[in-house]
Amino acid sequence: MMMYLKNQCHVLIKLIYQKIRLIKYHIFFYFPLFFYFGPRSYLAQDEGYYALQSKWILDSGNWLAPIWWSEPVFDRTIGVQWLIASFQTVFGNSILVSHLPSLISGVIVLILTYKISHDLLGQYLSWITPFALSLSYLWINNLHLATQDMPLLALELVGIYSFHKCSLSKDKSWLFFSGIWIGLAFMLKTFMVFISLLSIAPYIFLYSRRVLSSKYFYFGTIIGFLPFILWLISSVNFYGLPEVSLLYTKVQDLANTNLYSKSPFYYLWNIPLKTFPWSILAFIGCIFSFRNLSLKTNMIVLYYPLSLLILLSLFNTKMPYYALQITPYIALQTTIALRYLGENKKHIVLFFAWAVSLLGLGLIIISLLNLKYNFLPLFSSGDLNLASIALLVLGFFWTLSIFAKSGKLFLAVFLIGLYLSFSFLVQRGVFSDRTPNFRIAYQELVVPEKLQDQEIDFVFPKEDLTDRSFSQVVGLALLTKRLGERLDDPQLINKGQYAWIDKSRISELDARTYKVIIESPIFRPWKLIYLLN
């Protein structure tokens, strides 16, 4: 068994190496979109929460339970926290290291998207598919988040590509990969994996049915679920079934809650907005795909993402990042549209050139007005003028498209504008330095007080934190080198101890027994106090 697993790992590494070589002439274009080496800060929800739980894994040595201070919280699995903590164990504790699982997963996503495009649509313009995907806001935003969504997408694409290869090849390795991703994805995001499985099930029954009767598929499935099964058994033995059963009740809550409930049509406007301009081309591509491609190809490039969209829309809880699973297929449909439009008459290219040029002119006007009046808060992570500059660059190149004399030249101008705009935003830290004001305030106010080596408590109830208060707690805890205890009652603060406390609860202390060390609007409603001896 160990020899078989070793061989399968070797096959996977060889496959990845070969696919990297296939796109070696384009891969350096992705560097400005992936790598940012400036200051970083977490977005409190949800990546900051995962990073904080990973911090507790390393501080406490408890790799078993997701922790909220010293208490286990089984409202989710511990897959992405393991990944972050493991990378930090090897490469050191930094935000960049926390982002490595998502960044590496992003590379895998681009490789597999390219391969699916190459195999199903042909070599012509196949390089466009991963490039368009990398220039999609929804995708690049999640690429730079320390969450489970990009690793989940990578595993789903491993499954889709493996099912496709099983329909063509008798290689048993693909049967193994068709099974192993399911358990690993379940470890990351539990029942979300079944939405992908239900959506691809028609393709399996029509074209890859031998998967269901293969021992290698079930062997891979068991291996994939092994980390989750061992973790679950250990957790139940240590913490008890009632505590661990929160994993199931959390899914029920998400299915029934009204807190994140949105219209059934939420994704019909949110996805096109977050994947613009590719969503327009993808719509055109869907028409060409339905008319011209085989049923087998459409089962992956058209019907699979449509099934995902329907199932996600039926689920009561709706989040923008759930739609990340659909982005590779929007890129695939974009490629289909460009291929068929390029084969048609020149007047179609001229129409798009005029349309894009007029849109570019509109973007220039909006960017210039925003430079003066700051009315367009596109990015909450920094200077509003970043949005203006990005729109100005994009508008300038799109306006030039009117002078394009051919489809290739038009496509080049169209892509350069998007590429430079996204590269600018990435390199200015829009997608990596999520809370710069909070980070700077902490460095200027807290660090000069020489509190980094002090143990600091937090005073707040276990439940009933507002979203803002919760975000502030996560942000402060991540920046605190030595975390103390979470206390329900201010009276429990020991003398000579520092503590962050909600300003509304300071009145519970005698004013003569403490002094306020840090008070800033950035940290509101929290104040750092010191309890006098």
DSSP-derived pairing of the beta strands 482-487 and 455-459: parallel
In a domain? residue 33: no
Alpha helices in 374-495 (DSSP H): 385-400, 407-427, 436-441, 467-479
Choose one of 291, 313, 334: the last residue of a domain. 334
In a domain? residue 152: yes
Q: What pLDDT does residue 138 have?
A: 94
Peptide bond into 525 cis (omega under 30): yes
Domain match, 57 and 199 both: yes
Q: What pLDDT does residue 17 have?
A: 46
**Which residue in this structure is represented by tokens 């006007």?**
365
C-alpha to C-alpha distances, 146 to 52, 214, 254, nearest whole angstrom: 11, 36, 21
Cβ–Cβ < 8 Å for 47, 145: yes
Number of H helices, E strands in the chain: 23, 7
Cβ–Cβ < 8 Å for 498, 461: no
Amino acid at 509: L
Domain match, 365 and 478 both: no
DSSP-derived pairing of the beta strands 498-502 and 67-68: unpaired
C-alpha to C-alpha distances, 385 to 33, 172, 392, nearest whole angstrom: 20, 54, 10
Domain match, 374 and 484 both: no
Domain match, 192 and 115 both: yes
Q: Which two tokens stand for residue 101?
A: 């699982």
Phi, psi of 442 (to 5 degrees): -65, -40
Using CA atoms, how far apart are residues 5 and 10, in angstroms rounded to an integer?
A: 9
- For the CA atoms of 388, 27, 359, 391, the dihedral, rounded to the nearest 10 degrees, stands at 0
Domain match, 251 and 399 both: no
In a domain? residue 29: no
C-alpha to C-alpha distances, 502 to 268, 446, 460, 481, 519, nearest whole angstrom: 40, 17, 7, 20, 11
Domain match, 132 and 184 both: yes
Domain match, 166 and 110 both: yes
Q: What pLDDT does residue 117 have?
A: 93
In a domain? residue 39: no
Domain match, 440 and 422 both: no
Using CA atoms, how far apart are residues 392 and 390, in angstroms rounded to an integer?
A: 5
Using CA atoms, how far apart are residues 194 and 199, in angstroms rounded to an integer?
A: 8
Which range of residues forms the domain containing residue 477?
436-531
Domain match, 391 and 360 both: yes
**Which residue in this structure is represented by tokens 């509101």?**
524
Listed residue (161, 152, 106) closest to 133, CA to CA: 106
pTM given for the model: 0.90
Other CB atoms within 10 Å distance of the CB of residue 346 = 10
Domain match, 212 and 354 both: no
Domain match, 498 and 390 both: no
Choose one of 334, 354, 378: the last residue of a domain. 334
Phi, psi of 475 (to 5 degrees): -60, -45
Domain count for the chain? 3
Q: What pLDDT does residue 25 have?
A: 47
Other CB atoms within 10 Å distance of the CB of residue 255 = 12
Q: Which two tokens stand for residue 158?
A: 């491993």
Using CA atoms, how far apart are residues 279 and 374, in angstroms rounded to an integer?
A: 28
pLDDT in tens, the chain (533 residues): 556 555 654 554 455 445 544 444 467 788 899 999 889 999 877 899 999 999 999 988 889 888 888 888 888 888 899 999 999 999 988 999 999 999 999 999 999 999 999 999 988 888 899 999 999 999 999 999 999 999 999 999 999 999 999 988 888 889 999 999 999 999 998 888 999 999 999 999 999 888 998 899 999 999 999 999 999 999 899 888 888 877 776 655 555 555 556 778 889 999 999 999 999 999 999 999 998 899 999 999 999 999 999 999 888 778 888 999 999 999 999 999 988 877 666 677 778 888 888 999 999 998 888 877 776 665 544 455 788 888 899 998 898 888 877 777 888 888 889 999 999 999 988 899 988 888 888 888 887 777 777 889 998 887 777 777 888 889 999 988 888 888 888 888 888 889 998 888 888 888 888 888 888 888 888 899 888 87
Using CA atoms, how far apart are residues 325 and 314, in angstroms rounded to an integer?
A: 16
In a domain? residue 440: yes
In a domain? residue 21: no
In a domain? residue 42: no
Distance of CA 224 to the CA centre of its chain: 22
Q: What pLDDT does residue 89 have?
A: 93
In a domain? residue 24: no
**Which residue in this structure is represented by tokens 């070589």?**
21
Q: Which two tokens stand for residue 157?
A: 């694409």
Choose one of 371, 395, 427: the last residue of a domain. 427
Buried/exposed code over 284-312 (b: 16+ C-beta within 10 A; e: otherwise): bbbebbeeebeeebbbbbbbbbebbbeeb
* Coil, strand or helix at 171: coil
Q: How many alpha carbons fall within 13 Å on the CB side of residue 128?
A: 25
Domain match, 167 and 197 both: yes
